[in-house]
Amino acid sequence: MSNGFEQIHTLSRDGVGLTVQLSNEDRLPRLVHWGADPGPVPPGPYGSSALPLLPLQHEGWAGRPALAGDREGRFPHPRLRLTTPVEFTEHAMTVRAADPQAGLEVVCELTLSAQGVIRADYAVTNTGPGIWTLSFLGCFLPVPDEAWNLLEMTGRWALERVPQQRPFHLGAHVRESRRGRTGHDSTTLLCLADGELRNRTGQVWAAHVGWSGNHEHSAVRLPDAQGALGGGELLSSGEIRLDPGASYRTPSVYFAWSGCGLDGIRDRFHRFLRARDTHPRTPRPVVLNTWEAVYFDHRLDKLKALADAAASVGVERFVLDDGWFGARRDDRAGLGDWEVSADVWPDGLGPLVSHVHSLGMQFGLWFEPEMVNPDSELFRAHPDWVLADPGRLPALHRNQLVLDLSLPEVHDYLLARLDALVTEYRIDFIKWDHNRDLVEAPQVHRQTHAAYHLFDALRARHPGLEIESCSSGGARIDLGILERTDRVWTSDTNDPIDRQQIQRWTGLLLPLELIGAHVGPARAHITKRATSIEVRCATALFGHAGIEADLTGFDPAELAVVRDWIELYKRTRGLLHTGRVVTPDGIDPAASVHGVVAQDGSHALFSYAQLDSALPQTPMRLRIPGLLPQARYNVATVLGPEHDGAVSITGRALETVGLPLPRLKPAEVLVLEFTS
């Protein structure tokens, strides 16, 4: 029996297929398959084994409905029917449906990119009388029964994106973020695999909600329905109240499938992001950020000496961090007063900016526009500008409150101050920070859109300006913020051992050129762990590289290593920021191995980091996949201990026999270069 569903259409691209079963009546289509391109699929009685495009109770779905809301308690269960035939283009489909009695219209758009990434964008419009209150609108795709192993990430400040796995059985697994920003503990990607999670083999299905406010990711499997993976914005009670004719649009939800493990997910998202019109195209400059060099101690002579040292080793962008404005001598005062401090900078920032530019470097500046200290001239003048419920302020966090960016006067004030400073000092780069959760914050949805609007307005005035998304480190990393920024600050820790894992798992979504990675001091500010300059350089190489340390205190030998490392980065960033990330399987769990291989296979860099003591006593052989089997590669150590490895070896031999390596001590890193 067909149950009215007979027509089949498959969107297919780059080895991925999304198969849709269409109704001969006016019911919503059902999603039969998402995964490997199945080729032609005949109509069949898929019934409950196919997922409704919008899983709702009237479609037989007993889980949380994908669309939820009410009209003053009425019509909590919409009954959507198609209003026009499903529209297909070669790689996209649009579904228009309505429930006239409930007074709702819905549009669902699914687009399959050239890289095999599916982008889902849904919208609901109130077509009835009075207010319709939206509780949830989510985007979901089907996953098969064999997708039983769940991978998610969690974390905390200075230790973001820690992976954790668990079996995925019947029921719902939901990851919520109610922090008003993406969150240090955000899962970033929610993944399902058809067996043991591996880097190079096996099927993986992944979803990412591209939103910088409250959100959720979920995986659901019911006894009588197809499994589903997806998510959407997490809305507070009464947050979205649609007037007649008003609409709500979901944040984009992104889906990727891989038939070759986690590296396949990485590859799809990296190619997808690199294909954006807004993706950075120029070589990613070497950065020096002043925070862990001087903190709040801003003295012109010291900063000019730091700039001299930076230029001498090849730094290309000098960024002045927190402490240059208002009464900002510590983190308890001054936020919101975006005027250069006359006490610290009696002649303004001009002398430092001119000195930096005279050395051939770009100049960048730190801001935290969305926040305010109660001890500030701005708060004393405008306490009503704080994002708060009437009559009471939310709890302080990090001595900060949040400005309500949706107020036109707040937006105009911040845009005017940012615009004036960028113009006056010819600023090339902004480190845009966001150092607290939005606790007890009303209207996070509105605040998030207002923040996006402020980013967009500043970029419109200064098209060449580059912006970094920083949020206590890595608490605002998502594809919503990356539509308007050029890189992220991955974590506030520069400890290279922790950074090995943080950067690796951030890279499941983001390519290396978007991941800020800096060489910190010998003893890490946060963990207090001491590491060698070689280890710090080797870790920061695999990202958008920079320095966050006082170079004026480095000895000549350390400066020589930094200078050579910067030369290596400049020579290889064309590879690192365009190549494919390759992560071998079967590595000692106390080690981390990853690399980047050029798209044509002619060039590669691989890092082997010993994070802890290895159990085996014998030296390991590094087996490297992803190279051209018949090509012969010259192997050179470019960072780390020298070794007596093969001088010339084929790609096939590298993958099957491997390369003998020296036994590394804990907190040692070896970087190898392969050229054919």
Q: How many CA atoms are closer than 13 Å to the CA of 565, on its beta-carbon side?
A: 27
Whole-angstrom distance, CA of residue 72 vs CA of residue 328:
49
Task: Provide DSSP, 358-409.
Answer: HTT-EEEEEE-TTEE-SSSHHHHH-GGGB---TT-PPPPBTTBEEB-TTSHH
Whether 304 has a binding-site annotation, put simply, is no
Q: What is the 3-state secondary structure (H, E, C) of 583-629?
A: CCCCCCCCEEEEEEECCCCCEEEEEEEECCCCCCCCCCEECCCCCCC
Are 635 and 649 contacting, i.e. CB atoms less than 8 angstroms apart?
Answer: yes
Please name which of 235, 52, 203, 238 lies closest in space to residue 140, comparing C-alpha atoms. Answer: 52
**Separation CA 402–CA 413 (nearest Å):** 15
37 in active site = no
Task: Please identify which of the residues 185, 478, 492, 495 carries the catalytic annotation.
Answer: 492
DSSP 306: H
Q: Is 398 annotated among the ligand-binding residues? A: yes
Contact 672, 638 (CB under 8 A): yes
Task: Determine the residue type at 320.
Answer: L
DSSP 3-state of 22: strand
CA distances from 462 to 278, 420, 427, 456 (A): 14, 11, 10, 10
The answer to whether the beta carbons of residues 227 and 236 sit under 8 Å apart is no
Q: Confirm if 260 and 199 have CB atoms less than 8 A apart.
A: no
According to the annotation, is 366 in a ligand binding site? no
CA dihedral 560, 566, 572, 577 (to 10 degrees): 150
431 is an annotated ligand-binding site residue: yes
412 noted as active-site residue = no
Could you tell me which residues are beta bridge partners of residue 660? 621
Q: Is 168 left (phi over 0), alpha (psi -120 to 50) or beta?
A: beta
Q: Does the annotation list 277 as a binding residue?
A: no
Cα–Cα distance between 640 and 672 in angstroms, integer?
9
Q: Which structure tokens are listed for 39?
A: 């080729």
Report the candidate in 179, 184, 229 with the shortest Cα–Cα distance to residue 209.
229
Which alpha helices (H) appear in 96-219, and where do they start and end?
A: none
Tokens linked to 78: 């919409």
In contact, 258 and 34? CB cutoff 8 Å = no
Single out the residue of 391, 392, 379, 485 nearest to residue 439, CA to CA: 392
Residue 322 assigned ligand-binding role: yes
Per DSSP, the three-state class of 573 is helix
Query: What are the two backbone dihedrals, phi and then psi, of residue 94, each rounded to the nearest 5 degrees?
Result: -125, 130
Asked if 297 contacts 344 with a C-beta cutoff of 8 angstroms, the reply is no
Q: Per the annotation, does 321 bind a ligand?
A: yes
Three-state secondary structure call for residue 495: coil
Looking at 433, 437, 495, 498, which residue is catalytic? 433
Q: Which two tokens stand for residue 177?
A: 């973020």
Which residue(s) pair with 286 in the sheet?
none
**DSSP track, 454-489:** HHHHHHHH-TT-EEEE-BTTBSS-STTGGGS-SEEE
For the annotated catalytic residues, the residue numbers are 433, 492
Q: Show binding-site residues.
A: 157, 321-322, 398, 431-435, 470, 492
The annotation places the binding site for substrate at 157, 321-322, 398, 431-435, 470, 492
